[in-house]
Structure 1
């Protein structure tokens, strides 16, 4: 994402047999302000010719806090997520992965205040999701106010919008010690996407399969049990990304 355009990365990963992608948004890789209407149309046509598809877009969570105590920070995040929704629609995507805010582990605001701010931000984004025909995929993430499957599910059920779904991250779940089988069963009605990589309960990573303690056999069996028909995204963070992605694909299919 820091060294080449997303289309080139998708081509390289496409040689591994991967055809659908969750693309992280970054300047120089894929960024809304760098793509006018013609460039978006050309990219969509090129991907179609090559048999590839963008499933979703994913903004770097560190820069955009939908649960901030500062209204101007939340407004900035909503504007950028809204632009990501428009870009996803133009590129034939399904929606945008959303990290539901970030909270300090040292001295956070009151939980009820954070949840109110987050709720307002998500309600604003759902207006854009409806306009663009896109989904919001809330990612389970350890640095948010709703890090567990139960907390995300309760939040989504409170809002009750059909375009608000979950992107369940098994590595994030492993790090916080969550029972992933129970979590996936709980999320069945609202599960939109699954992010797959390895981690340990002692260290937060997104490693290739086999380097951590995620039980991928149980995860895969549970996805079959609940008849999940969405996309499972291999989300490996590595300095040797293509090879480690390939190793993870082989491990998961083995």
Structure 2
């Protein structure tokens, strides 16, 4: 599994309330991580807080320090691309568009998009939700074409398409070369999905892989080895499908550097076995 052993990307998730995005990436770079998935929140990295000059300076710093941003990622709880409140759906689309422009300005090639949220108690009709999601993504894809950006739609348990089978059915109706999947193995573990088989089914539809540990009884993004995710089988499936994207360590922790470093080391040991 030498391809996987070459390196991993990292998520700034655990740093977003305490560091700027640049400071977080500098810290993770000391662990040998690069190709970052950067959370987009005020104070960490936020479109409206960065002028054109600010963006130019930040992009220059990234280039000079060899830091690569793979994607920008808006937190799922703040937005909803399938909201029945049209003003809120419109705001969500507009913020994604501003984030896509920021990604382009910083040299990042993609944004991660959570495909809306629905109530688990009493959701609206599935056909209505699907129509809204299709319309929202179609608007984002027009911008993606103009900016030469990719959209990674994340497999996420709070969305109307929480499994790989549901994701494939939906995306087959909205096929586009710039629309790919961010496959999150701990999210998949929580919804009871067999990740190795799902990765094989999804194949080249996966644009980014999110790695962390979790269980089927608790939705978590823990250090590798602290849950029930079978990483040896996952990495085997990833190599079988010749995955060419970035494997992002998305560890959510109060001691992120320690847990990111331990997770990267554990995965590299698995990868070279």
Unaligned runs of 5+ in 2: 1-15
Whether 2:47 is the aligned partner of 1:9: answer: no
Partner of 2:180: 165
CA contact (8 A) 2:82 2:133 kept: yes
TM-score normalized by structure 1? 0.99
Quick one: distance in 1 between partners of 2:70 and 2:240?
23
Whether 2:131 is the aligned partner of 1:119: answer: no
What per-residue deviation string (whole Å, max 9, x for no partner) do you get for residues 63-119 of structure 1? 110011111111010000001100000110011000000010111101111111111
Quick one: distance in 2 between partners of 1:166 and 1:245?
23
CA contact (8 A) 2:111 2:151 kept: yes
Unaligned runs of 5+ in 1: none
Partner of 1:70: 85
Partner of 1:37: 52
| Aligned alpha-carbon RMSD (Å) | 0.7
TM-score normalized by structure 2? 0.92
What per-residue deviation string (whole Å, max 9, x for no partner) do you get for residues 110-133 of structure 1? 111111111111111111111111
Quick one: distance in 2 between partners of 1:186 and 1:37?
42
Partner of 1:240: 255
Whether 2:69 is the aligned partner of 1:26: answer: no
Shift of 1:189: 2.5
Q: How many residues align?
A: 254
Q: Which protein has the bigger strand share?
A: 1
After TM superposition, the runs of 4+ consecutive aligned structure 1 residues lying more than 3 A away are none
Whether 2:267 is the aligned partner of 1:252: answer: yes
Q: Given the alignment, which residue of 186, 207, 213 partners 1:192?
A: 207
What per-residue deviation string (whole Å, max 9, x for no partner) do you get for residues 158-206 of structure 1? 1111111000000000011101111101111211000000000011000
Q: What does residue range 145-164 of structure 1 map to in structure 2 within 5 Å? A: 145-164=160-179
Higher relative contact order, structure no. (Cα contacts within 8 Å, ≥ 6 residues apart) = 2
Q: Given the alignment, which residue of 212, 220, 225 partners 1:205?
A: 220
Q: Given the alignment, which residue of 175, 181, 184 partners 2:196?
A: 181
Quick one: distance in 2 between partners of 1:51 and 1:19?
9
SS of equivalent to 1:97? strand
Shift of 1:239: 0.8
Quick one: distance in 2 between partners of 1:168 and 1:4?
26
SS of equivalent to 2:159? coil
Shift of 1:234: 0.1
Shift of 1:156: 1.3
Whether 2:235 is the aligned partner of 1:220: answer: yes
Shift of 1:42: 1.1
